[in-house]
């Protein structure tokens, strides 16, 4: 709770500082480039390492009890030095506020920019020094066998810190985490060798991406000046960042297949399926139709409540046919996603400058949307076939099947149904508990239309399920 309050306070303080202290920057630097650069400034307002990271150091370096106590003291000292340094920077900016207001219009914008940037630039350099010092202080307490763990640990720590900054589908997935979760031993050959190559390739790609994202924090003033003179400079850098994101994603995609190739068939399929589910969840997450079919196989299977070998075989045949078509469609969506996501992002980058210039915006079509509709239609087709096979009564008992059932109909002229019709009207009345959905809605209250504005994929939006407790390497 305290940490949440601290973060909220940090964001509020930062917003205030940017409003008061960076008014000169916003006045002379084009909007989009300024926004991009202020992202790096905002990042500098939070420490690189938090107390929660202490556990990663203790477990990853196999620290004993005494070393753990020393490491905790090192983290406490880092946190205090960070807070003191940030406070000093904030005080310097606040002291400039009144002076900046008085000087606007009296001195050139370049001088105003220099005055504002100076304390921020100084703090960003000091913050980087604090980060380096923490790492060095931890390394000092290590014994020789722990020093040997350092290189692999540093790569793992960097993955933990930077993978979540991915935006493309597949960019954020950690194959070490997936391998652990599906019980693959990454310490035995030949898996160990391939995982080492993956760790090295991913580390190189992440660091290259991060250098572009961070920019030249040691020369913030000239970076802003250059962007003021040439707004295209920032857009060019953003395109390079997008290209670097694609490289990170490609490392994950290629090593997914390399790792699967050296596993036994069953484990390889499990691993590949789980990676795709986390990396491209909008494509590979379990569909509603699959849930219904799986429940039907359970119910009518050898250990089910309605064991029926003939019906079970019929359901299995229908399901296998559906899965074959679904796999083909998913693969097409996968290929289209890998191509279209970077292209759409590049168009958004171009549009940011077009908008400033008052030019017509690019409006590229997303090829995934018609494929998603095709997928929904495929699900509906095979669900309808399953319903015809089982009959409405049996089908309606399956988990998740109610949404595919038509609303109940009653003959108002039948005296036996008079009570049912009255209760149905009551349920449809506003403000009644247990109100049924309006016509066209789902029985469980969810809308028929698919959700919109959910982001751009697993690596695009949030939550691919990578971060779970335990060691990855």
The 10s digit of each residue's pLDDT in 39-51 is 567 777 889 999 8
Confidence of residue 454 (pLDDT cuts 50, 70, 90): very low
Closest CA to 21 of 108, 105, 106, 89: 89
Angle CA 374–375–381, to nearest 5: 90
Write out the two tokens for 153.
């640990």
Bigger pLDDT: 4 or 37? 37
Mean pLDDT on 130-152: 94
* SS3 (DSSP) at 417: helix
Higher pLDDT, 426 or 234: 234
Burial of 244 (0-12, 13-18, 19+ CB in 10 A): buried
pLDDT 10s digits, 53-74 = 999 999 999 999 999 999 999 9
Longest Cα–Cα distance of the chain, Å, equals 90
Q: Which residue has the higher pLDDT, 187 or 425?
A: 187
Candidate ranges 35-44, 371-380, 418-427; pick with highest mean pLDDT? 371-380
DSSP letter (8 states) at residue 362: P
pLDDT class of 443 with cuts at 50, 70, 90: very low
Within 13 Å of residue 385, how many CA atoms lie on the same side as its CB?
17
Do 311 and 394 touch, CB atoms closer than 8 A?
no
Return the pLDDT at 38. Answer: 54
Structure confidence at residue 349 (pLDDT): 85
Q: What is the pLDDT of residue 29?
A: 41
Structural Rg of the chain based on CA atoms? 29
The model carries a pTM of: 0.75
Would the pLDDT of 313 be above 90?
A: yes
Q: What is the mean pLDDT of residues 438-459?
A: 46
- As a dihedral over the C-alpha atoms of residue 26, residue 126, residue 57, residue 213, rounded to 10 degrees, the angle is 30
Q: Is 304 or 414 the better-scoring residue by pLDDT?
A: 304
- How many helices (DSSP H) and strands (DSSP E) are in the chain? 19, 0
Q: How far apart are CA 169 and CA 212, in angstroms?
A: 19
Q: What is the pLDDT of residue 108?
A: 67
Q: What is the mean pLDDT of the chain?
A: 80
- What value does the mean pLDDT take over residues 108-125? 79
């Amino acid at each position: 709770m305290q940490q949440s309050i601290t973060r909220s306070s940090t964001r509020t303080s930062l917003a205030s500082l940017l409003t008061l202290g960076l008014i000169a920057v916003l006045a002379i630097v084009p909007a989009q480039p300024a926004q991009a650069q202020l992202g790096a400034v905002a990042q500098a307002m939070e420490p690189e390492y938090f107390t929660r990271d202490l556990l990663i150091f203790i477990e990853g370096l196999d620290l004993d009890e005494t070393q753990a106590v020393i490491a905790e003291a090192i983290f406490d000292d880092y946190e205090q030095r960070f807070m003191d340094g940030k406070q000093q920077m904030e005080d310097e900016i606040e002291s400039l506020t009144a002076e900046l207001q008085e000087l606007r219009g009296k001195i050139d914008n370049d001088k105003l920019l220099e005055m504002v940037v100076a304390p921020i630039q100084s703090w960003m350099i000091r913050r980087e020094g604090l980060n380096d010092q923490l790492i060095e202080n931890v390394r000092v307490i290590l014994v020789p066998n722990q020093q040997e763990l350092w290189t692999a640990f540093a790569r793992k720590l960097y993955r933990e810190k930077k993978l979540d900054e991915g935006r493309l589908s597949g960019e954020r997935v950690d194959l070490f985490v997936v391998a652990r979760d599906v019980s693959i031993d990454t310490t035995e050959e030949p898996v160990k060798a391939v995982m080492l190559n993956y760790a090295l390739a991913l580390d190189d790609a992440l660091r290259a991406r991060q250098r572009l994202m961070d920019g030249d924090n040691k020369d913030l003033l000239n970076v802003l000046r250059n962007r003021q003179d040439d707004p295209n400079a920032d857009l060019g850098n953003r395109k390079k960042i997008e290209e670097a994101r694609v490289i990170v994603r490609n490392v994950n995609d290629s090593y997914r297949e390399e790792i699967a190739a050296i596993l036994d068939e069953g484990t390889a399929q499990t691993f590949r399926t789980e990676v795709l589910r986390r990396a491209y969840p909008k494509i590979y997450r379990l569909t509603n139709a699959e849930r219904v079919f799986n429940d039907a196989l359970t119910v009518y299977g050898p250990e089910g409540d309605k064991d029926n070998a003939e019906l079970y075989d019929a359901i299995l045949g229908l399901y296998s046919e559906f899965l074959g078509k679904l796999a083909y469609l998913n693969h097409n969506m996968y290929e289209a996603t890998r191509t279209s996501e970077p292209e759409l992002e590049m168009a958004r980058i171009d549009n940011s400058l077009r908008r400033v210039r008052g030019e017509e915006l690019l409006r590229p079509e997303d090829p995934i949307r018609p494929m998603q509709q095709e997928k929904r239609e495929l699900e509906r087709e095979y669900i309808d076939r399953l319903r015809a096979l089982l009959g409405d009564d049996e089908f309606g008992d399956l988990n998740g099947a109610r949404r595919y059932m038509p609303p109940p109909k009653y003959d108002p002229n039948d005296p036996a149904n008079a009570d049912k019709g009255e209760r149905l009207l009551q349920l449809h009345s506003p403000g009644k508990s247990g109100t049924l959905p309006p016509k066209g809605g789902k029985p469980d209250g969810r809308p028929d239309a698919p959700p919109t504005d959910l982001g751009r994929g697993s690596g695009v939006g949030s939550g691919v399920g990578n971060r779970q407790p335990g060691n990855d390497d």
